[in-house]
């Protein structure tokens, strides 16, 4: 289980996270929704050590992650797919995947995991020798997820995986999230597409200006009037 206890983060004079508490149970999909600037990405970055917490703690299966180097956190199975994909554009698809497995030495298992990844993302197999920067936006997102899977994560965190993608690709990405979770991988998902995120989530948190203001099972929040009004837009308005 991932546990965040009273976590605060400052950027200079900005109090980006204000003492949040959050749990991600093993084997579940948990989503964190909220407007731009609410602190969603900061939460993920604090978990993996990319930003330093001002106070509070982050633990994984009872072991403190706070203050540890990013590489140590990754080796413990806590992995982030960053917003904006952040693939290596001048490296091939195959080279990007190999870098995902940089901390592993089990060559046979790495090869097996590569084939599993290609099973999830057949397009990547077709483009193995193609440079990442020449892929479409959707294909780059597939590659970012596939690269993370090559680490064999126990907890896969995804930051805005649907951002800027066509609806058909968005549906495919969320289908993949479900498939990844069914294999036993725990998922923490940050998304502005609140409807899609809440539909897939076992549990959800609403983050507003650095504070968690609402939480509950994903389908309950999907039916919540405040959530529908604030995050689901016109499609949710006027419903009984």
CA distance linking residue 26 with residue 186, whole number of Å: 6
- The sign one gets for the Cα dihedral 182, 184, 190, 194 is positive
pTM (2 decimals)? Answer: 0.90
Tens of pLDDT along 1-42? 999 999 999 988 889 999 999 999 999 999 999 988 889 999
* Tokens 């939460």 found at: 43
Structure-block tokens of residue 174:
């969320």
* Strand stretches in 106-178, DSSP E: 155-159
pLDDT at residue number 233: 66
Reported as a pLDDT band with limits 50, 70 and 90, residue 236 is very low
Q: How confident is the model at residue 230 (pLDDT cuts 50, 70, 90)?
A: confident
Statement: residue 235 has pLDDT above 70: no
pLDDT digits (tens, 9 = 90+) for 68-109: 999 899 989 999 998 878 898 999 999 999 988 887 788 888
Torsion of CA 144, 147, 152, 157, to 10 degrees: -20
Go through the domains of the chain in sequence order and give each one's CATH number: 2-236 (3.40.50.300)
Which of 36-50, 94-108, 123-137, 142-156 shows the lowest per-residue confidence on average (mean pLDDT)?
Answer: 94-108
CA atoms within 13 A on the CB side of 83: 15
Asked whether the predicted pLDDT for residue 178 surpasses 50, the reply is yes
């Amino acid at each position: 289980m991932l546990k965040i206890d009273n976590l605060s983060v400052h950027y200079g004079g900005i109090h980006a996270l204000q003492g949040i508490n959050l749990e991600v149970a093993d084997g579940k999909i948990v989503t964190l929704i909220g407007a731009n600037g609410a602190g969603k990405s900061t939460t993920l970055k604090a978990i993996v050590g990319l930003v330093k917490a001002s106070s509070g703690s982050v633990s994984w299966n009872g072991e403190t992650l706070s203050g540890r180097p990013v590489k140590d956190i990754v080796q413990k199975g806590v992995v982030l797919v960053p917003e904006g994909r952040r693939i290596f554009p001048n490296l091939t698809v195959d080279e990007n995947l190999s870098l995902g497995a940089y901390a592993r030495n089990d060559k046979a298992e790495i090869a097996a995991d590569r084939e599993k990844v290609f099973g999830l993302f057949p397009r990547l197999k077709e483009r193995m020798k193609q440079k990442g920067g020449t892929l479409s936006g959707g294909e780059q997102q597939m590659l970012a997820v596939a690269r993370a899977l090559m680490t064999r994560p126990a907890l896969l965190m995804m930051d805005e995986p649907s951002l800027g993608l066509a609806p058909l690709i968005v549906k495919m990405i969320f289908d993949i999230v479900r498939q990844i979770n069914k294999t036993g991988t725990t998922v923490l998902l940050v998304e502005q597409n609140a409807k899609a995120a809440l539909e897939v989530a076992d549990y959800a948190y609403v983050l507003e200006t650095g504070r968690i203001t609402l939480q509950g099972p994903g389908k309950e929040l999907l039916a919540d009037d405040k959530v529908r009004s604030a995050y689901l837009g016109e499609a949710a308005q006027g419903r009984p």
